Amino acid sequence: MEQASKPLLVGVIVIDKPRGPTSMSMVNLVRRKCHKTKTGHAGTLDPLATGVLVLGVGKMTKKLGQMMDTDKRYTTVIDLSATTRGHDAEGEREEVEVARIPTREKVDDAVATFSGEIMQAPPIFSAVKVDGHRAYASARMGKDVKIEPRKATVHAIEVLKYEWPIVTIEVACAKGFYVRALARDLGKALGTGGYCLEIRRIEVGRFTLEMAKQLESLPEFLTQDDLLSPDQVEQLLL
């Protein structure tokens, strides 16, 4: 008796990545659920970050580069009372002595300076190459990593909530912007600390959280009906 052929899946699935797993572990999970069909993602989310992770399946992996180039939108919760080496909640906190707690007006004014085209140095724990090596690899070896600032574009940024020492910010940005670097640089501008307690990606281009599936809701094996079709993807990329 001939074995039934596996379905040939083509499309995109948007996952609401939980806190903890790497983006590649999400790729591997979806690949298994798609009968080992070729799968890739359209932009890494740090393990501690959550939210929109766009995965291309089958021939849609050829569109991943185009998806990566789209604008992104994030919300982030920043603690201004301390710093960490990686500017996120994974590292050891180092308390910062703050001479004067910034007012809401001062925080709003400081955040506004990050709008438009800015210069931003990526975090040392990033995939940027320095002297031929990934910055994060050198940083984990304890090396002194220096990354030169580069242009980044912020389309819109605003404070959603502020109660010392916690500020919640929403930012819409182009490819190449680092939310963790925003926390670091905001702290410097205010004379405080600054690291991300939470980072949540809410949009990748026109792929939104409303489209995203929860991991626990995914069936053992995905079908074509579980994916955005190539035609739907093309419309979202217009």
Cα 29 versus chain centre, distance: 19
Is 231 catalytic? The answer is no
CB 166 within 8 A of CB 104: no
3-state secondary structure of 36: coil
Alpha-carbon gap, residue 68 to 19, rounded angstroms: 21
Instruction: Provide the b/e sequence for 139-161 (b: ≥16 CB within 10 Å).
Output: beeeeebebeeeebbbeebeeee
Q: Of 16, 46, 79, 88, which residue is the catalytic one?
A: 46
Alpha-carbon gap, residue 180 to 89, rounded angstroms: 10
Residues annotated as catalytic are 46
